[in-house]
Every structure is written in structure tokens, then in C-alpha cells.
Chains A and B, each alone.
Chain A
Amino acid sequence: MTDTRTIRVHVNGKAFRGEVETRLTLVDFLRHELQLTGTHVGCEHGVCGACTVLVDGASARACLMLAVQCDGAEVSTVESLASGAGLNALQQAFRDCHGLQCGFCTPGMLMTLTEFLRDNPDPGEAQVRDVLSGNLCRCTGYQGIVDAALAAAKRMREVRL
């Protein structure tokens, strides 16, 4: 028999309280229960990074976490990045620098970099490549993504000044 448990979780600022199967992964919870389909499933073994979200502000593989482990947590997904119809500075930089082609790995890239740029406002290229080495992209050869991260960091520094 399936085992269920009640969880309370905040996703992108909105409260959820409900019953979930204990074996339900966080990414399936987000995609199927909450219909937040921006977070993608790429490998289901924690290597590709397409499902990266922030849990209490720290990046996490949503395919390796269970929904019940997020009881009481604050989860942020790609849907939280822009308000209204626009793009945030990082998203805009991805567009300006051709940081995406098929766009499937993109939400994970954006969430990894959201955490990274928050903690490292003035990174060098090697640091950016290092943090991106946890996210696979088969389309871009990473160059556009690296450029986007550096451009976004610059832009965000200028805004802060």
C-alpha cells in the first residue's frame, strides 16, 4: 500500500498543505501536484542538474529529494525569478548572450546561478565554469551560459551601486 504523509511547504511564496505519497520526488511534486512545469527532469540520478531548485535558499536536486523532506521548507523554482511579464537580470543576460538553445537545461542553470551570484557577486570565469560543472548542457557548449553569468553579475553589481 502506498504510504502518504501531510506536508506544509511554501513554494515561490505560496503555501501548500496537503497529503503526498512518501515516495513522491520533489520534482514530481512540483511538476505534477503543483503544475509548476518549469523545473525539468533530465536524469533522475542527480547528475544533470536540470531539476535544480532552491530549498531554503540552497540549491538542491529536486530529483533526489522527496517531497516529504521539504515539509516546513521554502522552495523556489524558475517560476519565481521574474515578476510580471518580464525577465530578471540573469534571464535577460541568458537571452542577450545566447545562453540557451533547446532551453531544457535552462531552469536548472538559472537556479544554480541564482544561488551562486547571490553569494558571489563578482565571480571570475573559472569560478563560473566550476559552479556550472554540476549542470549539463548538450546544446550551447556552455560559452553563452558562462557569458550570461558574467554579464548578469556585472549588471547586478551596477544596479547595487
Chain B
Amino acid sequence: MSLTGFGASAPRKEDPALLRGEGQFVDDIHFPAMLHAAFVRSPHAHASIGRIDKSAALALPGVHAVFAFADLPEPVRRQTLPLLVPHPSLRAPRMPYALAKDEVCYAGEPVACVVADSRYIAEDAADRVEVAYEPLPAVNDCRAALAPGTTTAHAEADSNVAARFPVQVGDADRAFAGAAHVFRERIYQHRGGPFFMECRGAVARYEKPTDAYTLFVSSQGSHRLKRCLLDMFDLGDHQVRVVTPDVGGGFGPKGSFYPEYVNLAFAARVLDRPVKWIEDRRENFLATHQERDQYWDMEIAVDRDGHILGLRGELIHETGAYVPWGIVLPWIAATTVPGPYVIPSFKLDVVSVYTNKIQTTPVRGAGRPEAVVTMERLMDRVARELELDPAEVRRRNFIRPEQMPYNVGIIFRDGRPVTYDSGDYPACQAAALEASGYDGFRQRQAQARSLGRHIGIGIANAVEATGLGPYESATVRISTSGKIVVYTGATPQGQSHKTTLGQIAAEQFGVGLDDVTVVTGDTAAISLGIGTFAARTAANAGPSVHLAGLEVALKAKTIAAGMMECLLEDLELADGYVRLKSAPDVRKSLREIAVRSVGMPGFSMAGELEPGLEHTAHFTPAQSAYSNGTHVAEVEVDIETGAVLILRYTVAHDCGRVINPMVVDGQVIGGVAHGIGNALFERLVYDDQAQLLTGTFADYLLPLATDVPRIDLVHLETPSPLNPLGIKGAGEGGTIPAIAAIVSAVENALAPFGVRIAEAPVTPQRIVELLGSHALGRTR
């Protein structure tokens, strides 16, 4: 194995520029004569809009334009933003217009766009735009929103139900009727957000000579954004190019299409100047998609020995004001519940509900963390009631490796049955327990308790659908200069695509990583692409690079065989040459071969070959590849302050074959940190009129270096049979079980006080509340 090829912890190609401050994030892009946009946003969570008076704003020197809905061009006024994932159960899907038309449905919804010489002036002017709002009652809570005859989040709607659908396996009611034990849990997961460090932003340009727009945008999927813009403006393929430069984190919501982008493109054309908008953090709290509001009411039926017979219940999912991603979140959540366990029967009624808050769309984990919290809380309940060790209850219910591939019996969001392709769940848990010192924990706990310290341990298992289809594209091209370039529609936000995809290509050509350039997220470079989200890039773009590379390598050898008058099988690729295996000095450079491949003017192409040393592959997986993992958290709770200290954190993780172990470790550890935030701190609090109360990083707390412990990692590798490289996704596996493991550990620490936890986050304040009179501060 080379030091930089597949399987090696190659140093990242991305790093030098980023470390020198030479990264090119969207706000680092500057064009001559560029203007700056700011948005007028609704202060009300729900209101109708009357007259908009722009005169004071337009009178300010340096202001070029103020646009409201009525100023937008016809195709943009005609339609709402596109619904990315329609579904038959979405009977009346609500989507926003590019600017609010006559009603605003969340605080922060854009109402007007101001363009000025600088952002400072644009903000001054935005304050001077007078909008006549008529406030309407706001819907704050998705459970209350289901009551008959209640206020609706959209004035004209007859209910707040966005969609209702069932998920069903076997005959749950019969299983419950015959069960030795039935336990019920009500479980809540509260809203958090992506909170990437770089807020959203874009620069739009319009070029008259080609009648075409270019949008530079901080995104997770350039091609999808391009398609949305084509739809909004009713344009031909040649009229929009979307380029994604360096992206400062995405975590899901940078994969959405937002109204601001439409306004920028329009403004750039009307004003004939480039226009930039960079979201500020206040806007980010109000207007970037969030996730995790779910309420589960679940029952589990088990036999005398704790074997699961069935699950049934209801999931209420809050979609917020609109449904850009349709029902993918509650669907993913519902289909993730069974996890690594044999669940003979399962019945879930799912309802997705509108409220007057910013919409919920996938955030790292995308519905899976909620599902895992639900399932693992039920497992802990069974363990407690049956007086079994929590690890033992899980062991008794695992799908065994010999049962793989395992059909869970439900249909996933990709339209295919949930069928786990490979994995060894018992081995994974065993590895995590061993690495975490689980066997010695009860002794540690007893000792700590004798000293008045409250420590606890929690286990969580998760199976994650990764590598979601439909495909990801890659072109491998060797230019006539001999340089190897890989183009892909995958659009990274820190996941190291330029390194890992480069490693796969370098392997094909026997060259070093420095000899391969990877171009990501530019719709002018490759015609098709989906983007980077849902832990899908390595498992889709990876095989595409591999397959395209194989084709190009074969073509290079075929051309060289003709040039060298030898047999194909006598040749090999190494160091930028095709050479004779028997006499390495006899060789042709990739440059010579590439020049030959494009032909000479007026001469016929040699042989039967298509011109050009390039190939495009769109690897299309048959279904999702399923990663899995076990997390074990050991915590100490200060019962006076409610503070939780994570003493030890262990992950056993299986994402199939690993391209770059350093990168995968980084993804997993970073994901755990996100889970720690969701478990202990991150909560977006709204008042009863759906006004956000936690709109700064001083109120909404992200985990700090002092909150995240050193993570112990164990890797297992069961290759996926679904792609030629055996890869499964790794981008979210760190987050998904973390919340469940930590909540479980906190509850375990507080067991002597009878504290039961069925929610996340469980903040210090909440822990003190749950402890009630047990909290030391109150009893002294």
C-alpha cells in the first residue's frame, strides 16, 4: 500500500491553504463594482402583510434598490420555492415564495431585499423599510397544533397537518396482546440547529453576453441549487452555473434551497452588478433550517426474557412553517427505530405538523438520533423493569451476523426495503464494552457513590442508512498537459473530498496524491451531481471515481499499447507513465498518451477508441449501505449544579472499508461532539408566540473544548457488498447514537434518586428540576 493511496492516513490536500488563511470561502470572493444585499425579515411569527413603504430606504445614499414580492419577475412570482422531495402523503405541501407574498409564517421570513454599496448601508436601509403587518395568532407547539379547531400556522389552512402516514411490520396488536410485559415511554427531542461556523452566503453575477447567471454559494449541492434556479427563473441549462467554493461547515441545512438565492440572482440581473449576501449570525438563528423537534409516544412488548415482540406508537414531527424536504425526516426517523434489533412487529402512526417556526430539515443525523434515543430509552426501560443488565437486553435482541442481509420489513425513503447489507452488531457492542471497561463499571460506580459522586454509564446502538442514492458523478480526465483531474458533483463542507477522492484516483494511476486535483461543486465542470449530505459521498462518489479511473487507465494503456506496439497485458501504470512491466524504461508519459488521445486536425482517430483521455461514471447503488456503531458514555453528574462531565467516551464503529482512517476518525469524533451538544446543551427555545428566545451563542450553547472529552475509537470493517470499494458512509455515525448514550448515562448516574429522563437536551437546569428536592442546593 502506498503512503497516500486507499487505506492510508494521507495528509489533507485542503490544509495548507486553509491554515495560511488562503481559503476561498464565499465571503472571500470579491468582484469589481459588487453590491451588497440585506433582507428585511418579519418580526412576527405569523402576520398578514399590507403596504410596504420603501421610500425612506431608497432615499438613503448608496442604496440601489429595494425589492418586495411585487417587484419580482413573473416566473418567480408565479411559484413557491421547489419542494425537493414530494410524497403522496403531503396533500397540501406549503412552500415559501422568494419573498413573502401576503403572509409571513415564521419570524425571520424574508419580506424585502435591499441592495446597497455596502452591507452597512444595506442594513441601515433595511431598518427604514416600513412594512404594515397585521399580526395573526401563532402556532408554537406541534402537539397543541393537532387539537381540532385550533389556530392554524397558515391562515387559509383548515388544519396544521402536513402529512400523516403509517409504518407497519407484522401484526403489532397481536404481539402486544400476547406479551408478558408492555412498557410505555413518552420521549421528546427538542430543536437544535446546524450552527456551522460560516453562515450561509452567496454572490450572484449576471452576464449579458451569454444571458447567464453564476451563483457562488456556500452549499452542499451545487447541482441541486442550479436545478432549483432553473425552475424558479424558467431558464435553459446553459443559463445557470453554480459554483461552491470552500464551505465552512454544512451539517445538512446548507443542502437546502433558500429564498435569498433567488433574490440575489434577480438583483444581479436587474442592477447589472454582482451582488453579495452573507448571512449574519442573528439571521442564521432565525432563517437557517433547524431540526429535531419530535415527540414520541411508544410502547414496547417483550417476553419474559426481554426478547422484543413488538413496538407501537405515535410520532409527532414538527416541520415548522414549510416542508422543503417533504416528509424525509419523520420517515427516516420511523424507519431507523428498529436499529440493530430483531423487531417482529412494528406499528407507528406518523404525523408531520406545521407551526410558525423556521422549518425543520435534515441536520447531521437527520431523524436518526431521535429514533435511536427512542429505541434505546425503551431498551433501558426493559432492562430496568426486568432487572437485566442493559448490555444483556441488547445482546438478546441483536440481529445476528449470519442473518445478513437482513430485511427489516419496512420501506426506506429511497423507495427500497430497509435491508441491512452487512455488519456484525454483537461484535460491535462487545468491542465497545471491552474498550470502555464496561465490566468494571459497577465497581467504579459503587466506589464513587460511597464517596458521594454520581457516575453513570449508558450504551446506545445504531444502524444508519448511508450512501443514499440515486448516484454521485465523477469525471476523471487527463488533460494534454498530463495532469490528472477528477471532477465531481459532490460538494464538500470539510469532509476532505479533495484528499479522499484524490486517493482513489491516485491509486488507479500509480501516482502520488499531489499529482491529482479534485474539483468539487462546480456545475460547469460536470453535468450531473447530487451533493454531499446523508453520509453519501465516499460510498457514491468514491466508486464513481474508482470506476471512471479504471476506464481511463485502461484507455491509456490501450493507446500506449498501440504507440508502443505491444500487448495491453504487458503494460502497467506508474509514476505518470505507462510502461512495460518487463522493461520499465520503455514507457510513454500520460502527457504523450493524452495528446495522442485527442487526435490531430484532419487525421482519423487511431483504433476504435472514442477521443479524449477521460471517462464519466455515475455510480448508482442498488440501495443504501448500512453503517453501524455502539457508543458507551460514562458521565459524572454534579447534583448541586446539574453539570454533566463526560468522564469516558467510547465508540465502536463500522463503516465498511476506510479510504483515509485519519479523516474517518475526524468525522466520527466531530460527530460525537455534535451529539454531546444535542444531549446536554443545544436547545432553541421559543415563547408562546413562536418568538425565538435563544438567538445568540450566549443563549444557545455549543459544546466547547472543555465539554468534549477525548474519544476512544474502535474500528470494525465489514465491507458493503453494494459498491466495488466496500464503503459505507461515516459522516453522521458519530452523532446518531451519542445523544442516547449520554442521556442513558445521566439517568444511570441519577438512578439512586429515581430520576427518569425521556428528553434531550438534558441541560443542567433541567437536571436540577428533575432532581427536585434531591438537588443538594435545595436541601441544605
Contacts and interface: CB of A to CB of B under 8 A. Distances in A.
Contacts of B673: 138, 140-142
A50 interface: yes
B329 to A, nearest CB: 20
Contact of A103 (B30, B246, B666, B706): B246
A95 interface: yes
B585 interface: no
Nearest to A95: B15
Interface in B699-737: 702, 704-706, 708, 710-711, 734
A140 to B, nearest CB: 5
Interface in A109-155: 110, 128-130, 132-133, 135-146
Contacts of A43: 281, 696-697
B197 A50 contact: yes
B17 to A, nearest CB: 8
B704 A95 contact: no
A70 interface: no
Contacts of A42: 197-199, 281
Which of A36, A43, A96 has the most C-beta atoms of chain B within 10 angstroms of its own C-beta? A43
Contacts, number: 169
A65 interface: no
A140 B668 CA distance: 9
Contacts of A26: none
Nearest to A78: B21
B701 to A, nearest CB: 9
A102 B672 contact: no
Contacts of B27: 31, 37, 41
Which of A24, A128, A129, A132 has the most C-beta atoms of chain B within 10 angstroms of its own C-beta? A129
Given A47-B697, A144-B666, A102 B12 contact: no
A81 interface: yes
A96 to B, nearest CB: 7
Contact of B494 (A23, A41, A102): A102
A143 B709 CA distance: 8
Which of A36, A47, A144 has the most C-beta atoms of chain B within 10 angstroms of its own C-beta? A47
Given A43-B281, A141-B670, A104 B20 contact: no
B670 A139 contact: yes
Nearest to A94: B19
Contact of A104 (B25, B669, B674): B25
A35 B19 contact: no
A24 B120 CA distance: 9
Contacts of A21: 120
B251 interface: yes
Interface in A57-88: 77-79, 81-82, 87
Interface residues of B, number: 57
B197 A101 contact: no
A7 B223 CA distance: 45
B617 interface: no
A95 to B, nearest CB: 4
A31 B30 CA distance: 11
Interface in B22-57: 22-23, 25, 27-28, 30
Interface in B241-292: 246-249, 251, 278, 280-282
Contacts of A145: 705
B28 A37 contact: yes
B21 A104 contact: no
B335 interface: no
Contacts of A31: 27-28
Contacts of A52: none
B582 to A, nearest CB: 40
A80 B30 CA distance: 22
Given A132-B705, A140-B666, A141-B711, A102 B19 contact: no
Which of A79, A82, A95, A128 has the most C-beta atoms of chain B within 10 angstroms of its own C-beta? A95
B674 A138 contact: yes
Contacts of A144: 666, 669
A145 B665 CA distance: 13
Interface of A: 21, 23-24, 31, 35-45, 47-48, 50, 77-79, 81-82, 87, 91, 94-96, 98, 100-107, 110, 128-130, 132-133, 135-146
Interface of B: 11-12, 14-16, 18-23, 25, 27-28, 30, 120, 194-199, 246-249, 251, 278, 280-282, 493-496, 662-663, 665-667, 669-674, 696-698, 702, 704-706, 708, 710-711, 734
The 6 closest A-B pairs by CB, nearest first: A38-B21, A104-B248, A102-B494, A103-B18, A101-B494, A141-B673
15 contacts: A40-B248, A44-B281, A48-B281, A82-B19, A87-B19, A91-B20, A98-B663, A101-B496, A102-B249, A104-B196, A133-B704, A136-B197, A137-B197, A139-B670, A143-B710
Given A81-B20, A133-B705, 4 more contacts: A50-B197, A101-B670, A139-B670, A144-B669
